[in-house]
Structures are given as C-alpha cells and as structure tokens.
Chain A
Amino acid sequence: MSVSNLRNLTLFSGWKSEIPLSLPLLLSYRSDRKMERSGGGGSDAFGSSMHDFLERMRHPSAADLVKSIKSFIVSILNKDPDPEKDSAAVQEFLANMEVAFRSHTLWVGSSDEELESAGEGLEKYLMTKIYNRVFMSLPEDVKRDEELSEKITLIQQFIRPEYLDIKPTFQNETSWLANPPHLHSNLLYIQRYRHQSRMVSEAAYFFTNILSAEAFIWDIDAKSLSMDEVEFQHNMESARALLLGLSTDSVSHGDHASEATGHKIEPSKAKNDTNDYVKEQSSAPQAFDLNGMSQRLTSTRTVTDIEKQGTSDLLKEDQLSRYFLDYPFLYARAGDLTIEDVETLLSSYKQLVLKYASLSKGMGISNMPLPVPAVQGEAKYGTGIDSRDLAATGTSSEKEEELTSTDNKPDGNMFTSKSEDNLLISLGEVKPNIPADDSFSRPVIEKDEAFE
C-alpha cells in the first residue's frame, strides 16, 4: 500500500499510545521533566521556552542571532535531504548557538536554567522550520515505517502480554493494539535532531527503551516469545492470511455488496457459522472473524446514522478541520468520488477494519457495529479515550495527574499555527518549500510530546 494511503487512514494520529514497553516510560519521563523544571512555568514548560525565546529574538540586539538562525534554516532547506549531514549540522548549530547565547548581551545575568530554556526554544523553533525537510525525508525510511507497521499488525493478531513477562499492571490490551504511524521515522527523527546535550540521563534511558522495543519487534521470533516454532509460524501465517483474506474477499464480493454498506469482510479463517451468517444477511449487518475470535456485529445502523454521530462527536473537538485533512472521504458523497478514489478508499477501508477489529478485540467489545469508511473519525475519537485509560494503568497518582493535564491540551500533535505565524513575522519569511498542508498528513512526534 502506498504511503499516501497510510496517511489518509491513520487511526492513531500522533502518539496517543505506544508499543508495550514504552508507554509507561514516556509518561514517567514527562513527569520527571516537569519536576526538573519546577518553577519553570507549569505544565507547558516547553511552550514557554519557545515563547521566551521568541520574545528575546524580537529584541533589536538579537539581530545577529536571528540572521544566523535564518541563514542556517535556509541552508538546510536549500539542499537535498541527507540525514547524516543534516543531523550533524543541526547538532553543531544548536551547540554553537547555545555557546553564543551564553556570551550574548540578551542573556547577561541569566541563570543556567534560562539559558537551557533558550536552547530548548531555539531547538523547537528550528525543528518547526525544517521538519518538513528532515522528517521522513528518505524513501527507505518511509518503507521501513510500512514494514514495521505491517509487522506490528501481524504480531498483534496473536501476541499476549504473558509472552513477554509483562507485569499485570501493564497488561492493558489497548497498548497491544497500538501501531503508531511512522514509528521508525519518528525514532530516527529524535535520534538525529534532538540536541544531544539533552538526550542524556533519564531521557536517554526512556528513549533507549522505545528504541529497544522497536528492535525487539523487528527481530521478534518464536524464541523471543517463548513460543513453539511451529506455533509461531502458524500464528504468523494465520495473521497474514487474515490480512490477505481481507483484500481478496472484499474484492471478490464487492460487486454484490449493497450500496448502503459498500463492502463485506469474509476472512479466510471465518468459521462456518459466521459464513452462513454473512450469507443470510448479505446486506446491512456484517460479520467477521479475527483469528479465532468470532465477532458478531449486528447493528443495522446506516452510513447516515454513523456520519451523524461521527459529526456530533467530532464537533466536540476543537480541531475539526484536521479530520477533514486526515480523512478526506469522511463527508464525501458518492457522487464526489472518482474511479481513482476507489483504490485509496478500499485500501483505507481494509486498514480501518483491521484496526477496528483489533481495537474491539482489545477493548473486549463484542457487539459494535462494523466499521464502514465513514466511521474513521469516530474510531479515532474512541482511541483517544482508550489511551487515557491505558495511561492511568500502572502509573503513580502523580503521573496520572501529569497525564491528565497534558491530555487536556487541545492538541499536542500538530504544530500550533499561532506560534508559527509569530515566528514568521519575527524572523522574516523563512518558509520551507513544502505545501502547507503537508504537515497534516504527517503525524509527527512533536517536541512538546516527546520531551515534556
């Protein structure tokens, strides 16, 4: 499947949940950062460092710094991406600028903490400007993202916490079903561009944890799951068959699917009774079987119903426009679609069904309506809630508090356009030659998320 398809159907936009080993780590990481910054400005210390940095950059005496920053940004944007060189250049630039800050009149009499904050502000500003150029810049990285995502999807069909000695406190099914988009690219991005002077100590530990989780997933085999080799192979094959089954069956049955539902899922492993069930009720209700888990989905809700509910759910969110960008078909009418859309739509649909089935399985929900393409936004909405539940598990009350306050922020995943605009005004026009909406289709681990 193509990258653009993956982007369009991203259910887990941003890092609302992590792969198993990592989630509690990132949470404790956050609370630690907060402790470290006690007195440094509440829950949004990073945001304030950015704000503070920008304020200083507006000062006339900052002209020389602004010039260096602008020209560095231009230098990165004006050449072909080369992660190795680019990351070395960024690291060096950040280090040099921090030295420059120390001896600059703007920071005379400033504490180490203020200088640290300025460094953070610069890093955030700089990466905001160049991330379109440096994130997912190589086709091979993008390919690795897809491979990793597929591997996670396969393994998720049969893995159990017990296989990995996961403590009961961390055994929340939802975490098993996380498949953060572009995980590999996100990790590379952090590795390459997070200023190394700050990627130390506890931050380094937690980052290592998530890197090791990725490495573990790449290399996962029967032995690493304490599973019989034959059983492992069987599980992998079943998982593959399920994925393939989704594509072949939905294609072959596509022609007699009713207009209201559009598609039908009939995985190769479906049990006989499920098959019968599908045959009997070939129009609205649908059923499918996920690796032995039989789910009977009996709702007769129409697409219109679902769209309605999805709309009302989404309207509660204040970044409605984002859903239109992430899910371009969400409010499309049949007449709007072109033949070219069919492939994308079908691929989106399969992904969605798979994730939906996995999520439903994880949440222990057995009677949910089968998703149709229009339900994307709704499913996403539900996912946010899950990760909150998950986050509360196995963390101390202090960490829960931290998480809650973080979660209440309207949106941690997207760039805040306000600060971007300010930046452009204050530092002049330094625009990457990238379409403006591109950032919306690239879920990225934002600095706020990663390092606060």
Chain B
Amino acid sequence: MATSGSKIKNAKLVLLGDVGTGKSSVVLRFVKGQFVEFQESTIGAAFFSQTLAVNDETVKFEIWDTAGQERYHSLAPMYYRGAAAAVIVYDITNPASFTRAKKWVQELQAQGNSNTVMALAGNKADMLEARKVSTEEAQTYAQENGLFFMETSAKTAINVNDIFYEIAKRLLVQAQPPPNPAGMILTDRSDQRSATSTSCCS
C-alpha cells in the first residue's frame, strides 16, 4: 500500500523462553522503560508495539509476548508463525532455562521461517553472583547456530534497547534486496498511529 511520508517497516517479533526468564520484563523495559520486580506471569494479552529509528529508516516492532509455561508450549507455533524476528530469552542464573532456550532455537530452525532474525538474550545479567550459565557457553552456542547474542538486564536496562536495535538493523539489511516474496513479514503499511505509541493489555 503506497503511503506518503516516511516509510515504516512493520516487523512481527515474538518472544520465547522458559517461564520466569523475564520475557515480559524485557519488553516492558524496551517499550515503557519500566521494570517491575515481581512481574506476574504472562497469560493472555501481551501485545506491544514500539518503533525504533535506525539511521533514516523506522522499524515498527509488533511484539508478541508469549506464556512460558510448558502447558502452553504446543500453542507456540501459532505465535511464531510469520515472525520476522524472535528473541529467545533465558535466565543466566537458571541452566534449565538455557536448555529450554536451545530447544526453542531448534524448534524455530525446524519449523520457522529461515529468514527470521533470531536473538538469544541471557537475561537477569545484573545477578552476576547467581550466574549459572557462562557468557562464553552461550556465546559459543549462539555463534554455532547463527544467532546473535546479548546478555540483558530488564532490571538495569543493560543491553535491552541494544538487542532490539540490533534486530532492527538486521531486519533492514535483510530487507534491502527484494525480499523473498514467499515468506518475508516486513511490510510497508501506512500507519496512522503515532510513531512511538505503545500498547499493552496485560
């Protein structure tokens, strides 16, 4: 759809990861600049949007948060289907959550779109004294699997904006050559909403 004015790339981004790793906290930090110590677990509505300017282009993330509980795992494909980007979150103090993250990566590689930009986020990076997953281990894993990796802290905001910014950059690079018409989610749409509006429903 043609639109006058600056173009906005809409990008669906899905958050995956074990329960309690801080997916929602990362989003809330990114979208609202807030942190809640005892964030309730995500059940139901968790849609956010946030725009990021990268050089002279704008990416509007449509962020689909998901419930981390195992009971809801089988529903995940409905959520990551068609995602331009996925952020897989684990908790650096919880090795099981890292194992779970690796399973998400595998699942996405097997089921998802190969164009999906995948980021691995080792969250709770402020809790260094409780660390159980080393940076090196995660870094190595990320490299081997073509993900980019950052340790983040929704609490202190470390690397939170950075990880989204990096995703936006990669999406824009990817969008430079005419994208594969079969599977790319980046779309140009006219958008009447204000550029930095956020919306949250949880």
Contacts and interface: CB of A to CB of B under 8 A. Distances in A.
A64 interface: no
B148 interface: no
B44 A24 contact: yes
Given A200-B189, A209-B44, A223 B201 contact: no
B43 A35 contact: no
B91 interface: no
B190 A215 contact: no
A201 B75 contact: no
Contacts of A113: 192
Contacts of A24: 44-45, 201
**Chain B interface secondary structure, helix, strand, loop or mixed?**
loop
Interface string A78-119: 000000000000000000000000000000000011000000
Interface in A184-234: 197, 200-202, 205-206, 208-209, 211-212, 215-216, 219, 223-226
A36 interface: yes
Nearest to B201: A28
B45 A206 contact: yes
A201 B201 contact: no
A368 interface: no
A225 B193 contact: no
Interface residues of A, number: 33
Contacts of B44: 20-22, 24-25, 166-167, 170, 209
A402 interface: no
A201 B74 contact: no
A205 B62 contact: yes
Contacts of B67: 165
A167 B47 contact: no
B10 A212 contact: no
Contacts of A200: 10, 187, 189
Contacts of B3: 112
Interface in B43-95: 43-45, 47, 49, 62, 64, 67, 69, 71-72, 74-75, 78-79
A334 B79 CA distance: 53
A205 B69 contact: no
Contacts of A197: 1
A164 interface: yes
Contact of B199 (A170, A202, A224): A202
B199 A211 contact: no
Contact of B71 (A20, A35, A225): A225
Given A113-B192, A205-B64, A25 B69 contact: no
A208 B199 contact: no
Given A201-B62, A205-B62, A212-B75, A166 B10 contact: no
B41 interface: yes
A378 interface: no
Contacts of B199: 28, 32, 35, 202
B78 A211 contact: yes
B10 A165 contact: no
B43 A36 contact: no
A165 B41 contact: yes
A202 B74 contact: no
B164 to A, nearest CB: 17
Given A25-B45, A166-B44, 9 more contacts: A28-B199, A32-B199, A112-B192, A165-B69, A165-B71, A166-B43, A167-B44, A208-B79, A209-B44
8 interchain residue pairs of minimum CB distance = A28-B201, A212-B75, A205-B47, A25-B45, A224-B71, A112-B190, A201-B62, A212-B78
